[in-house]
Structure 1
Amino acid sequence: MKITECKIIQEYARLSDLYGDAIETGNHKKANKAYDELMAVYQQIKAQGALTSDAFHELLSAPSMGTRLWAATHYLAISYEESEKVLTALGEVSNCLLAVSAKTTLDEWKKGNLIL
């Protein structure tokens, strides 16, 4: 793996974790900022072809719920089955706003409403 690829995936993990924490604590300004930065990093990962890398795949089992949520979302087109397992598990977490996001993501993907 290229060093820049490794760094950009680490940044993706950091930002997705930050996003998840901000959502769970109700800090919409922090969440919106993290989201904007995360989407820019995602575009870089996508442009480099790093979505299929082992390093990105490992994010599906990251300790951070926010990271697992976003990695599974962005991995849907690569492996629906793996992503579905992660999103379903996240969707079963009680009293968690990210659980709602996970359920909604799966529902919208099944309807064909997500463009990644």
Structure 2
Amino acid sequence: MKKKNSHENLILEYAYLSDLYGDAIETGNHKKANKAYDELMAVYQQIKAQGALTSDAFHELLSAPSMGTRLWAATHYLVISHEESKKVLTALGEVSNSLLAVSAKMTLDEWKKGNLIL
């Protein structure tokens, strides 16, 4: 069995934490969401520092089954490909009865205004 390298392990952790975050937001568990967010941002900084945002493994997160993972991956991928990210965020923003959809819309609005620091 092939051993995963460091950035692949970080991306797996990112996927797990972003999914956990999404589930917590949708169920109204803000304490769990805040904890997942803090851990997710720490993992994101490591991925970014390793230059792994441009990896195929990170790119695949844009089509992950989890809305939370797609939301965060598309947000963080805006600096790599804003067109591709906007498509993902726009699609997420069209999901009815979802707090993550609201977040996707807000993310796009803030990106267009130049207010996001990624």
* 1:53 corresponds to 2:84: no
Among 67, 70, 78, which residue is 2:69 paired with?
A: 67
CA distance in 2, matches of 1:99, 1:110: 17
Aligned-residue offset at 1:103? 0.2
SS of the residue corresponding to residue 33 of structure 1 reads helix
Aligned-residue offset at 1:37? 0.1
Partner of 2:98: 96
Question: Which residue identity lines up with residue 105 of structure 2 in the other structure?
Answer: K
Partner of 1:42: 44
Q: CA RMSD in A?
A: 0.6
SS of the residue corresponding to residue 79 of structure 2 reads coil
The size of the alignment, in residue pairs, is 115
TM-score (norm 2): 0.96
Instruction: Could you tell me which runs of 5 or more consecutive residues in structure 1 were left unpaired when the two chains were aligned.
Output: none
**Counterpart mapping for 1:9-24 below 5 A:** 9-24=11-26
Aligned-residue offset at 1:28? 0.3
Identical pairs, percent: 89
Aligned-residue offset at 1:44? 0.1
Question: Which residue identity lines up with residue 39 of structure 1 in the other structure?
Answer: M
Superposed CA deviations along residues 45-103 of structure 1, whole A, max 9, x for unmatched, are 00000000000000000000000000000000110000000000000000000000000
CA distance in 1, matches of 2:33, 2:48: 22
TM-score (norm 1): 0.98
Partner of 1:87: 89
Aligned-residue offset at 1:21? 0.1
Instruction: Could you tell me which runs of 5 or more consecutive residues in structure 2 were left unpaired when the two chains were aligned.
Output: none
CA distance in 1, matches of 2:62, 2:5: 20
